[in-house]
Homo-oligomer: A and B are copies of this chain.
Amino acid sequence: MGDRAIAGAARSVATIRDIAQKAGVSPSTVSRVLSGTIPVAPSKRLAVMAAVQTLHYRPNLVAQGLARGRSRAIGVLTQGISDLFYSQILGGIEHALRGTGYYAVFLSEGSPDDSAWALDLFLSYPVDALAIVGGWTPEEELARVAERIPVVAIGRTIAGIEERCVQVANEEGAYSATRYLIELGHSRIAHVTGLSWHRDSIDRQKGYERALTDEGIGVDPRLIVVGDFEHESGVAAIDALLDKRVDFTAIFASNDQMACGAGLALLRRKLWVPGDISLVGFDDDPTSAYTWPPLTTVRQPAAEMGGAAIQALLDDLNGRPFSLQRFRTELVIRESAGPRARRRAALR
């Protein structure tokens, strides 16, 4: 069984020489027919194509890569392949690559400690370009890689190569979400942040604060709780607020997962969304349209962002100018936010 495996993987499959022999031409000619770069006499072309058919020949991508000096592989270094938000970006990347002749090699960092191993593998693997999707790999390392091969980043801004990072209107999104809550009559709006060092989180908080200031409400630091983008931190944040009897009628969370957690914490205290407390998230995860009730959130076009990043990378790879648009965000109004309740929610 093991034998079959090893033998099977490597051999027992037609090579370019088999085709050449069967078609009565040289390997070079076969190569030319297949790549289509250089004209070949029709009769030989047909013979080669017939041989390819009968022998089920497929050129070995690895050998091609080695000979050509470019592997046609795009490395995708991602924070977590099973993350709700990142996996949408990955989907966009995958989709954008389809039919281009390039393929993606995904590697996820798993955890901050393991992040080194993934990049390490990419240094061994001759990828033509690298797409960074979130993650904890130190910026300097990434910037160094960017000196060798084209790099693009999504969900993260890397110092030194900012122009190669997909920018999202995070602040504007947070601003419009907060403003929307204000317009609904809320003035005590809690904010659950993401990881405190994370650029997106910082920008979203900035938008939240700016909206408050613009409306003359002012920022109350007691309403701001630090989270980590995970569900559980949303629960913890609201629990903390409620335990400290901080007064609020609405919540703006820095992502949908925390908003979801926040909603659960509210439910546990018999506080209804949106009747007692309004709730707005960020990202528009695919599940957010199906929470009970559906979550009002700020949409980030994750898949499109992945696609655009890949497009820019391919342009660069083909000598065209690298260019990346800035993505706007959009407030998706669903049912988790409503007018401020007449009576202030009875706490606990």
Chain A residues close to B by CB (< 8 Å): 1-3, 5-6, 8-13, 58-63, 65-66, 68-71, 80-84, 87-88, 90-91, 94-95, 98-99, 103-108, 110, 114, 117, 120-121, 123-129, 147-150, 231, 235, 257, 260-261, 263-264, 267, 273, 286-287, 289-294, 303, 316-322
Contacts and interface: CB of A to CB of B under 8 A. Distances in A.
Contact of A124 (B10, B61, B263, B267): B61
Nearest to A82: B91
A94 B81 contact: yes
Given A62-B66, A81-B87, 13 more contacts: A2-B320, A5-B128, A10-B68, A13-B148, A62-B62, A62-B126, A82-B91, A98-B114, A231-B290, A257-B290, A260-B287, A264-B294, A267-B293
A291 B231 CA distance: 10
A106 B91 CA distance: 11
A110 B128 contact: no
Contact of A84 (B61, B286, B318): B286
A155 B117 CA distance: 28
B58 A322 contact: no
Given A290-B260, A317-B5, A319-B2, A107 B103 contact: yes
Sort A-B residue pairs by CB-CB distance and give the 7 closest, nearest first.
Answer: A2-B319, A10-B69, A82-B91, A82-B87, A8-B148, A58-B124, A87-B87
A6 B148 CA distance: 9
Given A129-B5, A287-B287, A66 B66 contact: yes
Contacts of A123: 58
Q: Which of A12, A257, A264 has the most CB of B within 10 A?
A: A264
Given A66-B66, A71-B62, A294-B264, A9 B87 contact: no
B90 A81 contact: yes
A102 B264 CA distance: 41
A71 to B, nearest CB: 6
B121 A6 contact: no
Contacts of A235: 290
A292 B273 contact: yes
A292 B289 contact: no
Nearest to A318: B2
A314 B126 CA distance: 24
A233 B272 CA distance: 26
A9 B128 contact: yes
Contacts of A257: 287, 290
Given A124-B61, A289-B231, A291-B292, A149 B9 contact: yes
Contacts of A107: 94, 103-104
Contacts of A66: 60, 62-63, 66
Contacts of A11: 69
Nearest to A146: B8
B70 A95 contact: no
Nearest to A68: B10
A321 B290 contact: no
Given A94-B108, A291-B292, A99 B117 contact: yes
A110 B292 CA distance: 28
Contacts of A5: 128-129, 149-150, 316-317, 319
A67 to B, nearest CB: 9
